[in-house]
Amino acid sequence: MITRRKFVKSAALATVAAATGAVAVLKKIGLANAQPEVGQYYPHIWDRLGNAKYIHPWDIDARLGPDHYKKGARERWAMVIDLRKCVGCHLCELVCREHWDVPEGFWRSWVKAIQKGRPPNAKKYFLPRLCNQCEDPPCVTACPTTASIIRDDGIVVIRYEMCIGCRYCIAVCPYDSRFINPRRKTAEKCDFCQPRVDKGELPVCVEICPVNARIFGDLNDPESDVSKLIRNNPVQVLRPEMGTEPQVYYINPDMDIMGRIKERRGR
């Protein structure tokens, strides 16, 4: 049972964490060197109700504060999805769910499909979907706790330890890319697999694609594959009229499926 004193103390600590970063708070309470393990409860890592927090793999770096997410402006990450190649195998969707332990019924990345025509002349069209890592992300503006931020390299991330699950970011996202994780009770979305990117690795969906339909790279490098593809091919972004400047580009999309992005996510 949470006493009033414990709740007030936890709220005060959370306020300090938001202002000074979680590392400073952990140093103050003598637990800066504590290493959380997956599947354990840690009383010094609190949730918004003052309860000990259950640690998932994605939470381990979340305590490090806002400076952890600032990488400098040397890169500007983007993704190109070449729909001339996509075969709708859903491997990108499946590996994302497995890698990030996404709860059943939710997706960080998914593939939408529609069928046109009637058999035997029917044809399927696919549209892989994920967070668009906008240059002007409405989710960041709407977040009341600054849990959602845009890094200097353009990746929009969620600082889970600061998220209160208010759903404002979900309401304003034009791309239906966010959801509330029912286990953690915070918002979640694709972040281009930023822990992998920071280590020089590709997002898992890019790495698994058997036909190389997903291309990831640095827009600040004119010789990168993404820069060359955007420069040499007509590309489309989702909902350009919103003015969010998405950083996910599509080559040769079917415009009917592009216009159906407000429908419920899934296959």
Confidence of residue 38 (pLDDT cuts 50, 70, 90): very low
Radius of gyration of the chain (CA): 20
Q: Considering only residues 257 and 212, tell me which one the structure prediction assigns the higher pLDDT.
A: 212
Fold of 75-267: Alpha-Beta Plaits (3.30.70)
Q: Considering only residues 75 and 262, tell me which one the structure prediction assigns the higher pLDDT.
A: 75
* Distances in whole angstroms, Cα of residue 197 to Cα of each of 5, 76, 111, 136, 193: 42, 12, 22, 21, 6
- pLDDT (average), residues 58-67: 43
> Comparing C-alpha atoms, which of 164, 242, 166, 188 is closest to residue 59?
188
Contact 103, 179 (CB under 8 A): no
**E strand or H helix that includes residue 6:** helix 4-20
pLDDT value at residue 73: 53
Domain ranges for the chain? 4-55, 75-267
pLDDT value at residue 37: 41
pLDDT value at residue 40: 39
- pLDDT tens track for 164-223: 999 999 999 999 999 999 998 999 999 999 999 999 999 999 999 999 999 999 999 999
* Distances in whole angstroms, Cα of residue 50 to Cα of each of 87, 147, 159, 183: 47, 17, 17, 16
Confidence of residue 261 (pLDDT cuts 50, 70, 90): low
The pTM (predicted TM-score) of the whole model is 0.72
User: For the sheet containing 214-218, what is the strand order?
Assistant: 214-218, 77-82, 248-251, 235-236
pLDDT value at residue 43: 35
pLDDT value at residue 92: 96
With a cut of 70, say whether residue 83 has pLDDT above it. Answer: yes
With a cut of 70, say whether residue 36 has pLDDT above it. Answer: no
Within 13 Å of residue 17, how many CA atoms lie on the same side as its CB?
29
Place of tokens 């305590």: 63
- pLDDT (average), residues 18-23: 38
Q: What does residue 212 show for φ and ψ, rounded to 5 degrees? A: 55, 40
- pLDDT tens track for 98-143: 999 999 999 999 999 988 888 888 889 999 999 999 999 999 999 9
Full DSSP string of 132-152 = ---SS-HHHHH-TTS-EEE-T
